[in-house]
């Protein structure tokens, strides 16, 4: 059972491995800390029907209400092991302990004595607190408590003396109950629960004390998500039983919030059991918790279902008012599912027959000075229409809904055009037979596992995973596991990745089912059918933004479920544990006959999946690797179907507009507004605390980006697919198949003679093969999805990272992809080129070639006209002509542009030619632009095109020129490496380092970048790579320091401020000029060990209870702050382009629009850049941080606080360049 927590160093013996490997692993197992778990494992194997942890009788002392006593006999609570001896003695263990065991016993006994002395003092103090609270409720049986108490003291005393006391009986209880830190089974008697290692047993008490800590919240979330499962399963009895496991313990009940009781109330409300709800209200009162609005909503819902008496409803309403609530708040603040709202209203009308729902709150308007014009009602214009009728959009919505209801989408691979061989037909039949057998085996294993869990439930409390395995039909779990098996790489995948993927898939299915069950989907459907009138070409134009229109429709809908579900997210560790359990079932159940490919072999079953280990740096990482037989069958079958999650496919209808941090993007798939590291909750909490009106600009910008419709450039896609299926082309960024991988050297007959160089060569071949497989699959996914939507119009819903940078939600195929992906995307909406559109297409083409970077736009246009013959040849004969396009920086986008220019120039009237082609305008080293503008740095501003100049400046070329001057001086003075570098210092060599230095790249990282660029130059002598890259990075940093003096000052101020903030124990937070709250999620990494039967999994968790990582906080603050300004500028540009009716999308600082509107977009872009930097950005940041971190008003301040206050107040001085000069520059973006 996965819940029985045995470390991998023991249980990896059970994984499929050779006898030699097993012997080696056994030797490693002889370590001190494993004695505890060895004994626990022996007990488990001896008597699987006996609970591994005995029940401490003290924990079952009555709480004053006999009704709640029966379920408590199932509580898993660790106690002194000698109180309840196990049926079998230690000597009956099937494992024969060697002499080292006896020595280790003595060591462990001494160690535990020290731990127990500390814990007994702490626990007795905790017990006194718990008893003080429990005393008033226990008057009915005062004597019942006295005896166990005295007895427990005696036993605790005895346990400190006795060397025979087992130390590990509590180990399995923890893992059976909770994942990692999510379960607290602490004690209120001197004998406190140990969690694997006695020294770690103190943390639950510490967590319980800090109610605001993230760990405490995660523990609460674990309990609540389990209760939500019982609510979903319509099992109120089980929900109440689970609640009582915690409620009955004075220590554990501290983890119960009002929300936990409310979930159980809702379970009973749906059954109409008012008596049970009354009992839960009494329980709330008994532990000193005050009912919330949701508590009263559940009670009134129940009364509405039962048509309760006027007197009962009146009493409930009066109590609600006495607690400081108003009846209207029930409908304004509570979230409802199914018919709950109607039932609450029915109950209210029993005592107030004329009661009407309160009117929806008046919409608030964003007050940001940057968006006064945008949100001004006087300047509001109708929202742009799509080229679709209402009927067409409704049909598209239905297609999208069906896709999301299926959860997965199976599509034809682009490799399906290859002819089918007899070998492939045979392999496919064999694979189909095996999959049918595996389906049955996995199903049986799952059902057996659930049976054992349900039996355990009646013996020792509850297995935390059991309700999560009952949320869907067994067939669905099996389907998810088979999907993982089908997509597993021949090189294998780490356990952590597979566990997370399995857990997430189950969670996503559960959310889909909840939305169906709650009737939320019905309401979304009704609202969406009205919403599309805002977008359809055959409906009346409306002066609303998508978010505003959706909110208006929801308010008008009135009844029905809320569109936001009550928070039901699962803690990360719970997801991982669930995923690990599924993975264990998969590894155990899936087997293949050994002789399936070779009839001469012995016909026995062997595992398809192997649990092996690999080293990543100094870490030992568990991998799941498929057997070569399975990989060979899959390879021979050459299957042409690919299965994706529906969220990986672009949407077939306009996305649902973002209206809150919880709601937007896909119709059913759960999507977070802000992406974050697994397990991190800080960002979501910050967004929830932020006033909704402050998020309006960000939500509106994301909606604008998501509402851009796309289509496929079919001629370019077909050329790419033809090369992809014809062995690829690495030069054109189309990965070749694995069949083209370098062959490993032939092994000599005597393996011992294999020399070091041959081994190294073999290792390189394996590494290259793995890389090729990864790149090939990535390209296969992108091209197959593109081919699937080749005849469709589609949309990319967007969300953002914690800095506010926006990203399309579908992960594989989108416009943020590489050159190949971008080349096959076109705007679905076409616009005429207009008088200057063709010129912009030509300039765009030259930009894509990487030529003429230093030349003015007019010179680029003239150059394009000079090479028109090459452009037309590339368009007409891409694979058979002179192939000019292949030698450009972005060959596929250049080819697509050549084709568009050819069509436009050959049309009767180029100005009237309808173009769908996106033209890009790229920022000139955008990070340096922001620094130069922040510091009003005149010289720096000129080098990044912020100031008027006769020709566009190229900062990379300027830096390269400066480095070359430094090199010449050093070479003249006899510096050897400077002489070696003659002729090798170029724009291309320095570009990446110049671009990333502003985003915090260190000299170490910069040296690696330089080395990589120099490696690409065939003529450069390899023996000088390290020395040359070290020299160059030093010169680049010196050059930037000279050119951007103000930039360095600002960077240093930001870095030093972040360092002091992190040293004070706080994380760095700020708010962007658009009102988006940001927190840096860098904490000192702390791993939580997840105890699973396959291996122990060390999972890094990120939570606010840990100390900030000072190094990461300070190094990341300057680049993250600039990224947040970058995203603010992009969002401002997006919103103002919307007001001008432009099509606009962005790839961070690269903005796309139609050729017709490039000039207008450039003007808006400059205006918004100036508007942004006209704000007192650094001063506002200083004021915000002083208020947040320096507690103004306090007379006495600590020394560190004074130092921080001085640092934050000392805002860097800026130069004198003005916004007007920036405004007049014509080349901010080009």
Tell me how far CA of residue 1222 lies from CA of 317, 344, 857, in angstroms: 63, 59, 19
**Shortest CA distance to 816 belongs to which of 920, 735, 729?**
920
Question: Torsion angle of alpha carbons 234, 240, 246, 248, nearest 10°?
Answer: -170
Mean pLDDT by 10 residues, the chain (1230 residues): 35 37 42 41 41 30 31 32 35 39 55 58 54 43 40 38 37 36 32 32 46 68 91 93 90 89 94 93 92 94 91 93 92 89 93 90 86 82 89 95 92 83 91 94 94 70 83 94 90 90 93 91 93 90 89 86 80 90 94 87 88 79 90 89 93 95 90 80 85 94 96 96 92 90 70 70 84 91 96 96 93 93 95 94 93 86 94 95 93 96 94 95 77 76 64 76 89 90 88 78 85 88 90 87 78 92 92 94 80 80 74 91 94 94 90 95 92 92 91 63 88 67 49
DSSP per residue over 899-939, as a string? HHHHHHHHSS-GGG-EE--EEEEEBSSHHHHHHHHHTT-HH
Separation of alpha carbons 472 and 469, rounded Å: 7
Structure tokens at 516: 């169906």
Active site residues: 922, 991, 1149
DSSP state letter for 385: P
Strands (E), 667-764: 709-712
SS3 599: coil
**Shortest CA distance to 724 belongs to which of 676, 663, 784, 680?**
784
Separation of alpha carbons 800 and 702, rounded Å: 8
SS3 806: strand
Separation of alpha carbons 160 and 140, rounded Å: 33
Q: Is 17 exposed, middle or buried (0-12, 13-18, 19+ CB in 10 A)?
A: middle
Question: Torsion angle of alpha carbons 296, 297, 299, 300, nearest 10°?
Answer: 110
Structure tokens at 458: 């009646």
Give the Cα-Cα-Cα angle 1076, 658, 389 (nearest 5 degrees): 145
Confidence (pTM): 0.79
Separation of alpha carbons 955 and 963, rounded Å: 12
> What is the pLDDT, as a whole number, of residue 75?
33
Separation of alpha carbons 954 and 935, rounded Å: 20
Tell me how far CA of residue 800 lies from CA of 368, 661, 796, 810, 913, in angstroms: 20, 11, 13, 13, 36
- Is residue 472 within 8 Å of residue 548, measured between CB atoms? no
**Shortest CA distance to 118 belongs to which of 181, 184, 190?**
190
> What is the pLDDT, as a whole number, of residue 467?
92
Inter-axis angle of helices 1025-1043 and 955-972, nearest 10 = 120
Question: Torsion angle of alpha carbons 623, 627, 630, 631, nearest 10°?
Answer: 70
Give the Cα-Cα-Cα angle 1012, 1017, 1018 (nearest 5 degrees): 125
How many Å from the N-terminal Cα to the C-terminal Cα in the chain? Answer: 61
Separation of alpha carbons 743 and 1154, rounded Å: 48
The two counts, helices (H) then strands (E), for the chain are: 45, 23
H/E element holding 24?
helix 19-28
For residue 379, the tally of other CB atoms under 10 A from its CB is 11
> What is the pLDDT, as a whole number, of residue 743?
80
- Is residue 580 within 8 Å of residue 499, measured between CB atoms? yes
Tell me how far CA of residue 60 lies from CA of 70, 71, 158, 458, 598, in angstroms: 10, 10, 21, 17, 62
Structure tokens at 862: 């003239």
SS3 47: coil
Write the CB contacts of 18 (distance below 8 Å, at least 6 apart in sequence). Answer: none
**Shortest CA distance to 626 belongs to which of 611, 609, 614, 613?**
609
H/E element holding 128?
helix 99-134
For residue 120, the tally of other CB atoms under 10 A from its CB is 19
SS3 889: coil
């Amino acid at each position: 059972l996965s819940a029985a927590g045995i470390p991998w160093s023991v249980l990896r013996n059970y994984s499929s491995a050779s006898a030699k490997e097993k012997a080696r692993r056994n030797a490693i197992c002889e370590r001190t800390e494993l004695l505890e778990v060895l004994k626990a494992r022996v007990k488990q194997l001896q008597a699987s029907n006996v609970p591994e942890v005995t029940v401490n009788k003290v924990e079952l002392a009555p709480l004053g209400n006999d009704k709640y006593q029966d379920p408590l006999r199932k509580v898993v609570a660790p106690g002194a092991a000698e109180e309840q001896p196990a049926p079998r003695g230690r000597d009956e263990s099937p494992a024969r302990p060697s002499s080292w065991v006896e020595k280790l016993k003595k060591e462990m006994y001494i160690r535990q004595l020290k731990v127990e002395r500390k814990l007994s003092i702490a626990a007795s103090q905790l017990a006194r607190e718990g008893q003080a609270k429990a005393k008033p409720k226990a008057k009915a049986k005062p004597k019942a408590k006295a005896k166990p108490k005295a007895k427990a003291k005696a036993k605790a005393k005895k346990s400190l003396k006795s060397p025979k006391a087992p130390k590990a009986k509590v180990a399995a209880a923890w893992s059976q109950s909770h994942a990692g830190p999510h379960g607290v089974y602490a004690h209120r008697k001197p004998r406190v629960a140990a969690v694997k290692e006695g020294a770690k047993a103190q943390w639950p008490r510490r967590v319980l004390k800090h109610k605001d800590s993230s760990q405490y919240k995660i523990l609460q979330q674990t309990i609540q998500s389990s209760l939500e499962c019982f609510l979903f399963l319509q099992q109120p009895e089980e929900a109440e039983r689970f609640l009582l496991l915690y409620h009955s313990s004075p220590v554990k009940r501290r983890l119960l919030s009002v929300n936990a009781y409310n979930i159980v109330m809702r379970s009973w409300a749906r059954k109409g059991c008012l008596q049970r709800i009354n009992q839960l209200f009494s329980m709330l009162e008994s532990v000193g918790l005050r009912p919330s609005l949701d508590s009263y909503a559940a009670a009134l819902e129940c009364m509405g279902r039962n048509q309760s008496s006027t007197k009962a409803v009146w009493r409930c309403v009066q109590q609600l008012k006495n607690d400081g609530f108003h009846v209207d708040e029930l409908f304004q603040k509570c979230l409802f599912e199914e018919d709950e709202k109607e039932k609450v209203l029915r109950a209210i009308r029993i005592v107030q027959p004329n009661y009407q729902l309160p009117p929806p709150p008046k919409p608030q308007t964003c007050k940001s000075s940057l968006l006064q014009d945008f949100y001004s009602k006087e300047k509001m214009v109708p929202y742009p229409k799509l080229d679709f009728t209402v009927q067409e959009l409704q049909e598209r919505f239905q297609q999208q809904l069906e896709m999301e209801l299926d959860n997965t989408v199976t599509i034809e691979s682009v490799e399906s055009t290859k002819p089918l061989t007899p070998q492939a037909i045979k392999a496919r039949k064999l694979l189909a037979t095996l999959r049918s057998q595996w389906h049955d085996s996995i199903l049986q294993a799952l059902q057996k596992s659930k049976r054992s869990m349900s039996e355990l439930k009646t013996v020792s409390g509850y297995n935390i995973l059991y309700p999560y395995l009952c949320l869907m039909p067994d067939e669905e779990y099996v389907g998810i596991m088979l999907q993982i098996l089908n997509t597993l790489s021949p090189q294998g995948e780490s356990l952590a990745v597979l566990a997370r993927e399995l857990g997430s898939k189950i969670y996503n299915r559960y959310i889909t089912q909840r939305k169906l069950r709650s009737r939320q989907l019905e309401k979304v459907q009704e609202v969406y059918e009205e919403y599309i009138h805002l977008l359809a070409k055959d409906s009346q134009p409306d002066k609303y933004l998508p978010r505003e229109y959706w909110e208006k429709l929801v308010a008008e809908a009135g009844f029905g479920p809320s569109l936001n579900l009550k928070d039901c997210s699962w803690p990360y560790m719970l997801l991982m544990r669930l995923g690990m359990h599924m993975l264990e079932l998969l590894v155990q159940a899936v087997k293949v006959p050994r002789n399936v490919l070779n009839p001469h072999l012995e016909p026995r079953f062997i595992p398809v999946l192997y649990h092996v280990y690999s080293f990543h740096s100094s870490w030992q990482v568990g991998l799941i690797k498929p057997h070569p037989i399975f990989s060979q069958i899959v390879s021979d079958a050459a299957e042409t179907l690919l299965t994706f999650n529906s969220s990986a496919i672009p949407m077939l209808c306009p996305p649902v507009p973002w209206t809150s941090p919880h709601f937007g993007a896909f119709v059913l798939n759960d999507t977070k507004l802000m992406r974050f590291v697994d397990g991190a909750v800080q960002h979501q909490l910050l967004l929830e605390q932020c006033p909704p009106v402050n998020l309006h600009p960000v939500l509106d910008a994301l909606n604008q980006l998501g509402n851009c419709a796309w289509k496929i450039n079919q001629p370019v896609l077909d050329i790419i697919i033809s090369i992809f299926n014809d062995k690829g082309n690495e030069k054109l960024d189309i990965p070749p198949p694995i069949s083209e991988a370098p062959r490993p050297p032939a092994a000599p007959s005597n393996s011992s003679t294999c020399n070091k160089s041959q081994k190294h060569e073999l290792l390189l071949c394996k590494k290259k093969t793995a890389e090729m497989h990864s790149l090939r699959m990535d390209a296969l996914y992108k091209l197959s999805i593109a081919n699937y939507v080749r005849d469709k119009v589609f949309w990319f819903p967007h969300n953002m990272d914690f800095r506010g940078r926006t990203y399309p939600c579908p992960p594989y195929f989108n416009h943020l992809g590489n050159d190949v992906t971008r080349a096959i995307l076109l705007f679905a909406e076409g616009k005429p080129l207009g008088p200057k559109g063709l010129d912009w297409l030509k300039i765009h083409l030259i930009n894509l070639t990487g030529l003429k970077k230093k030349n003015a736009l007019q010179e680029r246009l003239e150059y394009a006209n000079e090479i028109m013959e090459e452009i037309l040849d590339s368009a007409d004969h891409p694979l058979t002509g002179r192939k000019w396009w292949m030698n450009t920086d972005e060959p596929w986008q250049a080819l697509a542009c050549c084709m568009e220019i050819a069509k436009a120039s050959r049309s009767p009237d180029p100005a009237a030619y309808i173009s769908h082609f996106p033209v890009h305008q790229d920022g000139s080293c955008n990070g340096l632009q922001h620094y130069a503008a922040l510091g009003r740095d005149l010289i720096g501003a000129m080098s990044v095109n912020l100031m008027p100049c006769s020709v566009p400046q190229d900062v990379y070329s300027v830096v390269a020129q400066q480095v070359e001057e430094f090199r010449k001086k050093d070479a003249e003075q006899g510096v050897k490496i400077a002489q070696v570098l003659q002729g090798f210092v170029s724009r291309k060599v320095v570009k990446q380092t110049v671009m990333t230095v502003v985003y915090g790249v260190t000299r170490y990282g910069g040296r690696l970048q330089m080395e990589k660029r120099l490696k690409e130059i065939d003529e450069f002598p390899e023996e000088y790579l390290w020395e040359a890259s070290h020299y160059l990075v030093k010169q680049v940093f010196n050059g930037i320091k000279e050119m951007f003096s103000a930039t360095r000052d600002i960077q240093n101020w930001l870095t030093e401020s972040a360092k002091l903030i992190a040293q004070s124990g706080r994380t760095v937070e700020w708010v962007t000029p658009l009102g988006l709250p940001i927190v840096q999620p860098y904490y000192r990494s702390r791993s939580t060990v997840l105890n699973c039967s396959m291996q122990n999994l060390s999972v890094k968790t990120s939570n606010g209870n840990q100390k900030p990582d000072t190094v990461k906080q300070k190094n990341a603050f300057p680049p993250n702050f600039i990224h947040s300004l970058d995203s603010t500028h992009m969002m401002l540009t997006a919103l103002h382009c919307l007001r001008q009716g432009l099509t606009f999308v962005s790839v961070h600082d690269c903005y796309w629009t139609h050729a017709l509107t490039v000039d207008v977009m450039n003007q808006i872009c400059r205006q918004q850049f100036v508007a942004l930097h006209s704000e007192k950005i650094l001063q506002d940041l200083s004021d915000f941080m002083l208020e947040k971190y320096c507690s103004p008003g306090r007379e006495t301040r600590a020394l560190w606080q004074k130092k921080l206050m001085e640092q934050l107040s000392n805002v860097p001085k800026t130069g004198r360049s003005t916004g007007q000069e920036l405004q007049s520059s014509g080349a901010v973006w080009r």
